[in-house]
Structure 1
Amino acid sequence: MLTIPEVIKEIGVPRATFYRWRQYKKGPKSIKLPNGAVRIRRSELSRWLQTLEESA
């Protein structure tokens, strides 16, 4: 599973943009762990990126 900084680095967007996408539910689905940390599955990131390719 990826951390938010890892995802941001991989897709190349500013942190504020990524958090805005999360707020509007436009980003990849994330998992909140019991300790409060947020993670994103690599498979979910790939799926989300593929939907962006299809809509472009």
Structure 2
Amino acid sequence: MRREPHLKLADVLDELGMSRAAFYRMRARGNAPKCLKLPNGQLRFRRSDFESWLENCEETKH
């Protein structure tokens, strides 16, 4: 079974069009996508978790 590729923080920031500082503020508030923190402190994101988080951010118009 092949593992799902992980996104780096730079990939996520690029897709969101967001600065690193803005992302870390969002993460501190608990509003960022689920991620893995590596022993060296770097963050990695499963593509499926990131896509799910994006879907949950979607607003519906009434």
User: So what's the TM-score if we normalise by structure 2?
Assistant: 0.78
Larger gyration radius, structure 1 or structure 2: 2
CA RMSD of aligned residues (A): 1.0
Equivalent of residue 51 in structure 1, options 26, 51, 56:
56
Q: How many residues align?
A: 54
**Bigger helix fraction:** 1
**Are residue 27 (structure 1) and residue 32 (structure 2) matched?**
yes
Q: Unaligned stretches of 5+ in structure 1?
A: none
Identity of aligned residues (%): 44
Give per-residue Cα distances to partners, 1:1-56, cap 9 Å, x unaligned.
Answer: 01111100011112111111111110101101233321011111100000011xx1
User: SS in structure 1 opposite 2:44?
Assistant: strand
User: So what's the TM-score if we normalise by structure 1?
Assistant: 0.85
